[in-house]
Amino acid sequence: MRIGEFKNDQAGARYRAVYEQTLADLWPGPRTALDIPTSFGTTRVYRTGPPTGEPIVLLPGSGGNALMWHRYVEVLARHRPVLAVDTIGEPGASVQTTPLADGRDGAAWLNELLAALEVTAGHAVGCSYGGWLALNHQIHRPGRIASLTLVDSAGFADPGRRFYAWMIAGGLAAMAPRQLRPGLARLVGNSAILESGLMGLVRVSMGFRRALPPARVLSDEELRSLRVPALFLLGERSALHDSREVAERLGRLVPSARAEIVPGTGHALPTDRPALVAERILETAGR
């Protein structure tokens, strides 16, 4: 098993320079950067918002980091402390030293992180792969999270041709001239490519070798073990799974869960409907 790391020192230096500039340009208001040691490596967390209260913990999707939540931080921090995480093994400011073999390891990493941050009843928000990690944590290491908001979470279908075609089309569209991107975003169904402030970071992340375990489909038994209130926000046209099938399965297996299919959205739900997603996060956390 490998760890996530940059291909060489030059790729790492290029990435860090763009990362720091992007952080300075996009992050709203004050923040405290924390580097938390875990048995899987050092995890970077940005803390903002009020000094007390149970925090909202933000976990990004695959290939992303805390900066994907930059549009959310200010509104969420008006109500609760916010902990925005650079997931171990993803391109960002975290440094992985030990491989993660599976979802249990992902749960162990997140539990160590929450324990070090003294989170005892936090509100986890996970997008795509981050949702899968949050679900595995609740399945294998429950006790530190009081609610879940999962934004088109992975873990309900193996990525197929449709998903990989969506990713490739989005990547190609992101390299087009800026004036062409709005039309291409509509064509390929990926509003994330309109995040112009993050595009430079996406480009230099190509120098990073990601080595995290695939988001294995969760079993019925695992889903039945979920006990905390959970909101599953699903993109109506998600390229990752059939959202109606996911909603029906959750309705059968998870009494504590509510599934909401968001019309006119896809897997890029956080950029398709940011105001709605922020509102649902706060509702689930009890503001």
Tens of pLDDT, residue by residue, the chain (287 residues): 799 999 999 999 999 999 999 999 999 989 999 999 999 999 999 999 999 999 999 999 999 999 999 999 999 999 999 999 999 999 999 999 999 999 999 999 999 999 999 999 999 999 999 999 999 999 999 999 999 999 999 999 998 888 989 888 888 888 888 888 889 888 889 899 888 889 889 889 999 999 999 999 999 999 999 999 999 999 999 999 999 999 999 999 999 999 999 999 999 999 999 999 999 999 999 97
Q: Which CATH number fits domain 5-158+208-284: 3.40.109.10, 2.60.40.10, 1.10.760.10, 3.40.50.1820?
A: 3.40.50.1820
**Domain boundaries defined on the chain:** 5-158+208-284
Long-range contacts of 270-278 (CB under 8 A, 24+ apart): 270/68, 270/69, 270/72, 270/127, 270/151, 270/192, 271/191, 271/192, 271/194, 271/195, 272/191, 272/235, 274/71, 274/72, 277/72, 277/151, 277/233, 278/72, 278/75, 278/76
